[in-house]
A and B are shown apart, each in its own frame.
Chain A
Amino acid sequence: MRVEYINPFVESAFNVLKEVVGGELTRGDLYLKSTTHPVLGITVIVGLAGDVEGSVIIDMSEETALAIASVMNGEELSDFDDLGKATISELANMITAQAVTKLYDLGFKFDLTPPAMITGQNLEVSNAGVETLIVPVDMPQGKIEINVAIRERG
């Protein structure tokens, strides 16, 4: 996968998380995952289609999602309810939207699907034929993994 696709997502994830959650963020080592891989529990998927195609998945545990949603709402949420889900979906929306702007500036044109959230234990994701690169981000609230699986349309 070309590095031009990855950097915008890493940069915008850092920008948005710093702005809306704050605290100290550390990027873990990037790694590639096989075609089928487990995800952490709260998973938001945004699809891309155009000059490039694929998906971006923002993935975290329910505990982390609840802690982040609490900070973003300025109040302690006790359950991962509709407000919590709307908050994390919006977080994914902001990260992908900012990354897309950077990719547009590089000349790539494509559309995004609205974020879809999937929650549950023991989930696995497979991206047939598209290599997935994982960007782990450590935050005081826990770990977020940004999965980027993008290729140029053949």
Chain B
Amino acid sequence: MKTKSDFPSINERPPEGLKEDGSAFSVLIVDDSMFVAKQIGQILTSEEFKIAGTAGNGEEGLEKYKEMYPNIDLVTMDITMPKMDGVTALTKILEFDKEAKIIMISALGKQDLVKKSLMLGAKNYIVKPLDRKRVLERVISVLRQ
């Protein structure tokens, strides 16, 4: 029986979530909304990114980052969360690993906090509602920086 591999498509491109060596980029999702975490997870896994973990607040995000270090390539960080907000968690993760690549996830109306996060060392930001194309563009641009 012929399989798909017998007919390689000239339009096929490799999934965005894979490194040159074929292993997947590893992402930690920090968000208190189960819905948003699931949405980011779905967008990224569709491109074969690996979701290394999820955390529901900044404190848990910081702990998981330290636990999994150096095996996290990127963190998506919500800004407004209970216990420890995203801006504080960003600062603490960067104190621990100044090379950490963190993208802030924000609702509209939080421009001041987004600016502050970028000044503090966040690599980029995404404003909700999340759009698949925009999420992938920002994630890929940060990973290629």
Residues of A within 8 A of B (CB): 16, 19-20, 72-74, 82-83, 86-87, 89-90, 93-94, 97-98, 100-101, 104, 112, 114
Contact A94 B80 (CB under 8 A): no
Residues of B within 8 A of A (CB): 33-36, 38, 42, 80, 107-111, 128-129
Contact A94 B35 (CB under 8 A): no
Known A97-B107, A97-B108, A98-B108: A83·B34 in contact at CB below 8 Å: yes
Contact A90 B109 (CB under 8 A): no
Residues of A within 8 A of B36 (CB): 86, 90
What does DSSP make chain B's interface, helix, strand, loop or mixed?
Answer: loop
Contact A73 B109 (CB under 8 A): no
- Determine how close the nearest CB of chain B comes to the CB of A100; give it in whole angstroms: 4
Contact B129 A101 (CB under 8 A): no
- Determine how close the nearest CB of chain B comes to the CB of A109; give it in whole angstroms: 11
Contact B129 A82 (CB under 8 A): no
Q: A94-B107, A112-B109 are in contact. List 12 more A-B contacts (CB 8 A).
A: A83-B34, A83-B35, A90-B35, A90-B128, A93-B128, A94-B129, A97-B107, A97-B109, A97-B128, A100-B108, A101-B108, A104-B109
CB within 8 A of B35: which of A16, A73, A114? A73
- Determine how close the nearest CB of chain A comes to the CB of B38; give it in whole angstroms: 7
